[in-house]
Structure 1
C-alpha cells in the first residue's frame, strides 16, 4: 500500500508529499477486488494461468495505467492548445521477460492523435505525453516496501 509507514519503524527518508491509498481484497479463486477512492476494479488471471478470466490481470492494469497516463497528458496538451481530443487513442503492447524474476521486459505505446492534428503540434504532443507521471516513475523507480500487517 502506498503512503503507509509502520509506526514502529523510524526512517530518515523524506516523507511523501501526497499520500494515496488503495486496498486489494480477495474475491474468489484468483480474482481480487481493488478499492480506490470509492471505485471498484477487479483483477483475475486467464484460464491458462489457473484463473477464471473475469477481469484483466494486474500486469495488464500496469500497462493500462501507463497508457491511460500518456493519454491523459496528451489530452491535456491538446486542450491547452485549443485542439480537439476526440479520436485520441493510445495503444499499449508489452512483452514478459523470459527469465526470472517475472516482470515486464518491454512496453511499447503508440499514440494515435486526433485526426487533423496540425503537423507542428505532433512533436509537442509526443514530448508532453512521454513525461506523464507513470512514465516518469518507471524511469525513476520509487522505493517499494512490502511488509506484513501486525
Structure 2
C-alpha cells in the first residue's frame, strides 16, 4: 500500500506532499496555469511514478541476472488526445545489450507495478473527513 498526505496553503497551487516516513516533495502548476512552477505538476508526478517504477523494476531484474548494465535511462511522456491517454516510454541502456536481452527487458518494464496499475481498472473513492 502507498499513502501520502498532501497539503495546500495560500500560495496558489503550491502543494506539499509527505509520506508517513517523512519524505517530502513539492507539486505546483506551471506559470501559465497560475502556479509558480516550484515543483512537479500533478501530471508530471504521475509520469515520474511510471518512470521511477520502470527503472527500479529493471534494476532489480538486471541485478538478479548479473548483467553488466550499469546505467539505464527512461524518457516517459504523457500524451492526451481524443479522450485517450498514452504514456510513451523510451528506454535507453547505456551499455551493450543484445537483442534477446532487449526483448526480455521490455517485458520486464511492462511488468512494473505502476504499469500494471495504470493498465488495469482504476476506481477512485472520495469522502469528506
Q: TM-score, normalised by structure 2?
A: 0.89
Partner of 2:115: 135
Q: Contact (CA 8 Å) 1:90, 1:111: kept in 2 or not?
A: yes
Q: Contact (CA 8 Å) 1:70, 1:132: kept in 2 or not?
A: yes
Q: Contact (CA 8 Å) 1:73, 1:128: kept in 2 or not?
A: yes
Q: Contact (CA 8 Å) 2:29, 2:41: kept in 1 or not?
A: yes
Partner of 1:87: 71
Give the secondary-structure state (helix, strand or coil) at the position aligned to 2:60: helix
Q: Contact (CA 8 Å) 2:69, 2:95: kept in 1 or not?
A: no
Alpha-carbon separation, structure 2, partners of 1:57 and 1:39: 18
Q: Contact (CA 8 Å) 2:43, 2:78: kept in 1 or not?
A: no
Write 1 or 2 for the structure with the bigger share of helix: 2
| 1:100-145 Cα deviation digits (max 9, x unpaired) | xxxx721100111231123321111111111111110112123210
* Unaligned segments of structure 2, at least 5 residues: none
Matches within 5 A, 1:1-150: 19-27=1-9, 28-36=11-19, 37-97=21-81, 105-149=85-129
Q: Contact (CA 8 Å) 1:87, 1:115: kept in 2 or not?
A: yes
Alpha-carbon separation, structure 1, partners of 2:82 and 2:35: 21
Please list every run of at least 4 consecutive aligned residues from structure 1 whose deviation after the TM superposition is greater than 4 angstroms. none
Number of residue equivalences: 127
Question: Could you say if the C-alpha distance between residues 140 and 98 of structure 1 is closer, same or farther in structure 2, counting changes exceeding 3 Å?
Answer: closer
- RMSD of the TM alignment (CA)? 1.7
Give the secondary-structure state (helix, strand or coil) at the position aligned to 1:41: strand
Alpha-carbon separation, structure 2, partners of 1:55 and 1:98: 28
Q: TM-score, normalised by structure 1?
A: 0.77
